[in-house]
Amino acid sequence: MSKKTIILICCFLALISCNNSSVEKPKNLIEKDKMVDILYDVSVLEAIKNQNINGGVSNKVGNEYIYKKYKIDSIQFAKSNKYYASDIEEYKKMIEEVKARLTKQTQALENEMKKKGQEVPPTTPTPTNPNVPQIQ
């Protein structure tokens, strides 16, 4: 996971945690493990968009991909994300899991590139994007 994405997620968490009112559990809450998978995919799509890989991915296309893949809608995602983010410690664990998965995937790709004799590109910080990890 890029440093940019981690910073943005943390900023999002900080904004959500400032709200003192408790968040009611949605009726159609996305299961926690599934939510981690969704956050992972959102992070990957955001990285692709920011790196302009394969022409980039528009928000609309990325959102449609997420909704179709996980059989959810934008309201269900938003309510579930808000619910999980209301428990900052638990949400932090979810984000750490996403980060660990992204790190593991990055290391595997770098190892594969080294085996093939390809140069591994350096990781560079990018400007922050206030829209991560929200999908609309």
The residue range of the domain holding 102 is 3-18+29-112
Burial string for 114-136 (b: 16+ CB within 10 Å, else e) reads eeeeeeeeeeeeeeeeeebbbbe
CB 72 within 8 A of CB 26: no
The answer to whether residue 7 scores a pLDDT higher than 80 is no
Is 134 a domain residue? no
**Counted domains in the chain:** 1
Q: Binning pLDDT at 50, 70 and 90, where does residue 131 land?
A: very low
Is 87 a domain residue? yes
CB 135 within 8 A of CB 39: no
Is 34 a domain residue? yes
In tens, the pLDDT along 96-117 reads 999 999 999 989 988 888 888 8
Q: Model pTM greater than 0.75?
A: no
In tens, the pLDDT along 8-56 reads 666 566 665 555 457 899 999 999 999 999 999 999 888 888 777 656 6
